[in-house]
Each structure stands twice: as structure tokens, then as C-alpha cells.
Structure 1
Amino acid sequence: MFDDVLTLKKLEIFLAFIKTGTLSEAAADLNMSTVSIHRAIHSLEEGLKCPLFRQEGRLLLPLPSARVLEERAEKIMADINEAVASTREAAGLFSSEFNLGALYSLTLNTVPRLIAGLKLRKGDLNIQLTLDSNAVLFNKLNNLQLDVILVSLEQQFNNPDYISLPLFSDDVLLAVPADSELASAEDVDLTSLKDETFVTLTQQFATHRDSLLAFDRAGFQPNIVMQVTDIFSLISMVSAGMGYAILPRRVESVFENKIKLIKLKGLEDIKQNISMVCLASRERDPRILSCIAECRTNDYL
């Protein structure tokens, strides 16, 4: 069994000395004193219980034993570096894999543009996209399954465990079928629709939260006939006449032939604040730094 006489640091010093050939050059490479270099080599010989060099004047010349150790030590150091890289990659750090999470509605514009920008900045990234609700995305971020998430944050969001970067603020509007009598209205008082039916996303979604806030401000409990798990299904339900819904403005341009979005009178201050979020502990990951830089330099509305 080896004790602390034989260490990776001493092998690093040994290899530096073999490469440079002098104590002074090895010391300069490693930012150490020549005395420390000499002491480490002597300690290494003691630990191995065999000589590695012979003295010739002021020079230390390698013996065959030193050449054997050089070959094996280089392999050991390479294996250690590979082990560290593999361990970090398994933990999701410093690899070419980049796991991005986002809300379904952000795939209409924001996500494609962000991915294109990231590819220009860091072409070797292998980007994997996960679409889900606010709650699920935060859970996956905390479990290191995702590197960065694009989510809707409440106005007062402030948590030291996360780094958040605002991207844009989106209006929350009433969605009605394109052929509805309300489709031509400039705005609508949500209170006037208290006897109508509504469809919503499930409670994990930010849009569900915003819908409940709008109904609460309007002073009534809505008749919710269906809840769905993605915004595209919700739009289909509205288009088919299943009920009205509360939706963010960003879906309007793509689905204007199916639905119309109308301002909610008196509720214009209800907005979705879309932000990029990562764990504060992983902010220095080069992949995440690239994403932060991309988000800072572009308008993603």
C-alpha cells in the first residue's frame, strides 16, 4: 500500500523535471522554488525505495527506472484528467451537452432564436430541449436535469439560489374563437363573462396562475369545463368553442386564424415576465455563460 510519500503532486513535479531537464526550469513552470522541486524528487525516490536519477556534477540525469516511471506517470495523469472530465460531464458540467427547458408557448419565437444564437456562439453545443410547465421545469433545474430554463416569474421573484435574467414582459389577454361575436371587440370586461365557460392549463403552468389572478380580480369563480397540459391543446379547445381562455399575447400571430386575443379592461397590469433562469451555483459553467451572453444581447419577444 502507498502512503502519502507517493502523491499526484510529486508525480506532476517529477514529470515537469523530466520534461525541462533542470530544477530551475521545472520550478519556473510550476511556480515553485528549486528547493521544493529537489525535495519532492528525493521524497519520491524514498517512497519508491529506488533511485531515479544519478548525480553528474550539478545535474541529475534520469536512470532507466525514471524512464519507466515517466511512461507510467504520464498515463496516470492522463487517466486522472479523463476521470475528472467524465465526472464533471456526468454531473452536467463542462460538457458539450446543453439541456434547455422552456414553456411550450416560447417555441413559437423565443426558443428557436435562442438556439440559433447559441449555435453561432458555441457551435459544438448539443442542445436538448425539454418543454413543460413552470413547476416541472424548476424541479428539473434543481435536480440538475436542465442547465437553463425559460419560464414566467412573478414580479417579486428574488431567490439567491437562482440567477434570473429578464427577457421580456408579455400581456395577458382573453382568447376567443376567431368567429366569435367578441372577436372584433377592442377590449372586454371579464366580469361580463362570469356566466360563460372557460378552459385552462393545469395548475403547474404560469398561465393557469395568471388566469386565476384575473378571475379573482374580476370577482368571480369561473366555470372551467376542461384543463389541458399544453398551450396548443388549449388553443384548439378555444377555437372549437369549448370555452374562453386567458392566454399570453405571444401566441397571437401564429394562431390568429383560430383565435382572437382581446384586452382585459382594467386588468392590463397582469403580465407574464419571461426570464432565463439557472442555478446560482452553476453560473460559471461556460455553456451557461454563453446562454447568458446570448440572452443579454438580443430581444427575444
Structure 2
Amino acid sequence: MEINYINEFITLAEIGNYLEAADALYLSQSTLSRHIQSVENDLGVQLFNRTTRKVELNEFGRLFLPYAKQMRALQADYTKALSERIKNQNRNITIGTIPTMTQYHITELLSRFQDEHPDYNLNIVGADTSELDKMLREGSCDFAFIRTRDPSEGEFQKLPYFTDHLVAVFPRDHPLASSQVVTLDQLKGESFLFLAKGSMMHTLAISACKAAGFSPNVAFTGHRAENILDLVSRGMGIGLLTKQPLSFIDTKDVAIIDVVPQFTTSILLAYKSEQSLNPTARQFLKFYKSLGIS
């Protein structure tokens, strides 16, 4: 049974005249008559006593009318509820980010956007780049701040955000600790301390060593740079990390030396396409582009 036909039945019952009811509903009289007959056919009873000048509800019509009004009210309720849910969903933006948010001022950028758009719901998810790639691909986030060696690789649209480079972290008493720069081939006999296997930083460090002509002896892998620095300070090995995050950690017990040739990494804002974004997400993209980051 068409819900719109129910509304037409209520209008006809209240007006009591086909022509006037049809005018009120912006329908032809014949269309209204056909719709009312459809309702009666579905119910298996006639609802009106018809005369040449007007129509009146019969006993079945009077019985059905309060139920019809409940159906109309229920339609209004669920239409409103669905509309509100859609409206709220369209205010949502999900942004994935590499774990080093603070160090790359990502928290500051997102906070600024939220301050300028308090009606938007900003959902932030931290993960490694490989997981963020999967989230973008599956549509579970709108944007992701990812780390990559090659900004042109991959299937996503990308905007530049930050460029960083690898540094070697030495114990203070290491013979190379006073160097201005080091080459990785100078370190091929050392024990290395890397971030966790499977992370983008682990992949970058391994790739850098292999590009220098050797496979590193990895003595430790872990999730926190602070642990690597502490182990380095105790003479447990050499760390390979990116420089920017170290500016937020106490490094007085270690020496941080630039690696040459420079092995750079890029932090990028990635997304599938502008067409795939909802209007709120497009507003974030507009905000980001307005910052003039390059």
C-alpha cells in the first residue's frame, strides 16, 4: 500500500469532495479516484459512500481513518529521524594519520580546522602508513597523513605536507659521534635499533641500508623512538630515525648526525578523489589548500 495514497485518503476524508481534494493535492480528479480505489482494493473494503456531489466515510472508512493518521505520523517521524541522521553523517570527517602527529604539527592543523568549523565532527585515527592506505582504499577514512619515500607512487591523490630525512643516532662516546655527517656504509658493521617491523619507518631504514650496499644487523625493533634513544645512550646500537620527531624528545644523552647522501621521506595528505568526498570533507580539503603548504 502506497503511503502517499494513505495521505490522499486522509485529505479526501477531511474535505469530502473529490474535486476540492484533488486541487489541494495538486492531482487530477481521475488520478485521486484511482489512488483511493487502490487503497480500497488493498484493504478489501470500500471506505466511502459516494454521491454525485460529495463523498462521506462509511463505517470501514471511519474505522480506518485513525490508523491512517497514525501511519502518516509515523512516516513524518521516520523521515525526520533519517534526515537528521543523514545530516549528522554529512558533518563527519574521518582523518587517518601516522602516529607522530604532534611532531609534525598535525594535531595543530586539525585543531585549527575544528576551531574554524565547530559544527563538524572530526574523527581522528592513528595508524601506520600501510594501515592508512588500506583505510583509504576501503573508504573508512576520508583523508590520511601518510609517510612515503616516493610521493608519486600509489593510487591516491596526494598533497604535500612535510619533508623529513634520516639521521643516525649514536652514543655520545661513539667514534663518529662528533662527525658533521656520516654515510651509511660507515655503519655497516654496527648493530641497529629500528622502529617496529612492518612500519613504514622500518621499511625506510632497511631500504636505506640496502641502498648503501649492506643488510643491517638489527638488534632491536620497537614502537617508540624514546626506547631506541635510551638503548642507544646505553651503547646497545645505532638508531636510524627521521629528524623532525627527535626535536620533541630529550636527546642530551645521544648524538644525532645527518646521513649523506640524504635519504628523504615525505608526509603527504592522501585521499581517493575529490568526487568521492562528502561536502564536509570537501570543506576540509578547501581549508587545507588555503594554508598554502608546498
Provide TM-score, normalisation by structure 2: 0.71
Cα offset, 1:212, TM superposition: 1.8
The 1:66/1:254 distance shift into structure 2, 3 A limit, reads same
**Does the 8 Å CA contact 2:171/2:232 hold for their aligned counterparts?**
no
Pair 1:111 & 2:111 matched = no
Letter in 2 for 1:264: V
Q: Give how far 1:176 is off.
A: 1.5
The answer to whether the aligner puts 1:275 opposite 2:274 as a matched pair is no
> Cα RMSD over matched residues?
4.3
Aligned length: 281
Q: Give CA deviations for 1:234-269 in whole Å, capped at 9, x if unaligned.
A: 344444443223322321432363455433222x2x
Of 206, 214, 219, 2:208 maps to 214
Structure 1 gap segments, 5+ residues each: 1-5, 28-32
After superposition, residues 1-301 of structure 1 pair within 5 angstroms as 6-8=1-3, 10=5, 23=22, 26-27=25-26, 38=32, 40=35, 43-48=38-43, 49-51=45-47, 68-79=67-78, 82=81, 94=89, 98-142=93-137, 146-153=141-148, 154-159=150-155, 163-177=156-170, 179=172, 182-255=176-249, 257-258=251-252, 260-266=255-261, 268=262, 270-279=263-272, 283-298=276-291
Percent identity between matched residues is: 17
Structure 2 distance, partners of 1:263, 1:18, is: 85
The answer as to whether partners of 2:164 and 2:242 remain within 8 angstroms in 1 is yes
Kept in 2, the 8 Å contact 1:103–1:131? The answer is yes
Query: SS at the partner of 1:104?
Result: coil
Whether the 8 Å contact between 2:48 and 2:55 is mirrored in structure 1 is no
The 10-residue stretch of structure 1 (104-113 or 192-201) with the greater mean CA deviation from structure 2: 104-113
TM-score (norm 1): 0.70
SS in structure 1 at match of 2:220: strand
Structure number with greater Rg is: 2
Structure 2 unmatched ranges of 5 or more? 15-19
CA 1:177–1:113 in 2, change beyond 3 Å: closer, same or farther? same
The Cα offsets for residues 1-60 of structure 1, whole Å up to 9 and x where unpaired, read as: xxxxx13454577789999x8656654xxxxx7579635455445434444798997x99
Question: For the Cα contact (< 8 Å) 2:104–2:245, is it kept in 1?
Answer: no
Measured after TM superposition, the shift of residue 218 of structure 1 is: 0.7
Corresponding residue SS for 1:107: coil
CA contact (8 A) 2:102 2:108 kept: no
Equivalent residue, structure 2, for 1:3: none
